[in-house]
Each structure stands twice: as structure tokens, then as C-alpha cells.
Amino acid sequence: MNFLLVDDHSLIVQALSVLLKAKFEGAQVLTGSTAEDARALVREHSEDTDLLILDLNLPGVQTPTSLLEELVQTNPALKILVLSGIVDYANIMRVLQLGAAGFVPKSLDTNMLSDAITFVLQGGVYIPTQLLSQSQKEGFFTEAAVEMQQSTPQVRLTQRQQEVLHTLARGLPVKRICRELNLSEGTVKTHISAIYRAFGARNRTEALIAARRAGFDVVL
């Protein structure tokens, strides 16, 4: 497993690095502490990264979600888990709308954090129970589901695109998809772009949600 970890608190970086290496045998963890570090790490390593764990409140960001939005737009296939001390509800919902694979408060205990990382790597979208309850109460997911259903009727994918879709659902990064399907990187990226267009999605998370609602057998 290959991880990118960007947080400006050195103790958190050290603790998370230890956790990842203990949980995933042979894990490689590259770290940074600023927005520019995040950009550089993603630019150089995004293709073979299984997960980017990203703090929202980094030196060099304009707004809490601006860096996330930038990274999602430039690297839509990259799986990103947000880890942050910012628990403002509006920002959390914005994080999920942008397509992050989940949001984890820094107050979450180690065991639950470990479970969250595993869940996201398996293709899930992680939301802490208390946040999920509030979001359901306010109708966030109901509205999103209606909008997604309206925007993805009768989607047809080729057999190869369906194979790529299932590897995306498993949380695989681009280079591992290439190896598994014996395809070139350019071909895989072309299929991913076609899948996003078919579902009107901007990123992996939106595509998987839309695929599920369109009747494709993918696990969220």
C-alpha cells in the first residue's frame, strides 16, 4: 500500500505513519506539512497512491476546502480521506460534495480511524455516525440522491468500462488498474474519463454513487 499523508501537526503525522505501517505490511508513507507539499506529492506520486490523507487547515490554503477542490479537479481518480480538526458542518458537507472518500475528525479514536481507513480503501465513503445522523436529518443525502438519479438515466457502459468501474469501486489507483487489466495508463485514464462523462460525475465518489443508483453492481 502507498499512502500520502499531509498534516501540519508533526505528532499526528508520526502517529498516523506508525499506524499505517503497522496495519498494512510493507506500507510506504510519504508525508508533507503544507499545501505546496500536498501539490508536489500528488504531482509526483498520484498514479501509484492508494490513499491521500489530507488535513484541511494547512499553511498556504485560501479556504478550508480550496486545496481539496484543486486536487480533486486535477486528479479525479485519486482517493482522498480528509482528516481535520475543523468540524464545521457546512465544510464537512462541502468535503463530501467535492468527492472526498470520507471525513474523519482528529478527535476520532485510533481504532475507529483504522477502521475508517480500511473502509475507504475497500471503496466505501466514510462518515462518522454523528455526522451521518445530522446529514440525514437535514436531508443532504436525500437531495443528493434525487439529483443524482435525475442526472444518470439509462447509462450504458462497454464491457471494458464496466471492468474499470469495478476496479474503481475497489479503490485501486490508476497504476494498479493498469496492471490488473493489462492496459496502458493512457487507456485506463480514457476509460475513467468516459465513465465520469457517462454519469455526469466530477470524481470517483460521484461516479460510484451514480453507478449504484443507475443499477450497476458496485459497492459503496
What percent of the chain is modeled with pLDDT above 70? 87
Instruction: Provide the residue range defining the domain that includes 163.
Output: 152-213
Q: CA separation (Å) from 62 to 5, 6, 41?
A: 20, 16, 19
118/159 same-domain check: no
Domain assignment of residue 99, yes or no: yes
Residues 187-198: tens digit of each pLDDT = 998 899 888 888
> What is the rounded average pLDDT of the residues 178-203?
88
- In the DSSP assignment, the letter for residue 33 is S
Residues 50-70: tens digit of each pLDDT = 999 999 888 888 888 899 999
SS (H, E, C) 86-115: CCCHHHHHHHHHHCCCEEEECCCCHHHHHH
97/192 same-domain check: no
Domain assignment of residue 183, yes or no: yes
Flag whether pLDDT at 206 surpasses 90: no
- Count how many Cα atoms sit within 13 Å of the Cα of residue 180 in the half-sphere of its side chain: 16
Residue 134's pLDDT band, with cuts at 50, 70 and 90, is low
Domain assignment of residue 135, yes or no: no
Other Cβ atoms less than 10 A from the Cβ of 97: the count is 15
Higher pLDDT, 220 or 41: 41
156/124 same-domain check: no
14/60 same-domain check: yes
125/157 same-domain check: no
- In the DSSP assignment, the letter for residue 78 is -
Q: How many domains, in total, are found in the chain?
A: 2
Residue 219's pLDDT band, with cuts at 50, 70 and 90, is low
- Which of 56, 104, 53 is CA-nearest to residue 80? 53
201/118 same-domain check: no
Cell digits of residue 54 = 489530507
Domain assignment of residue 139, yes or no: no
Q: What stretches of the chain show up as alpha helix (H) in DSSP?
A: 10-23, 35-45, 66-74, 89-98, 110-121, 129-137, 140-151, 159-169, 174-181, 185-199, 204-213
Centroid of chain to Cα 196? 15
**CATH number, domain containing residue 59:** 3.40.50.2300
118/10 same-domain check: yes
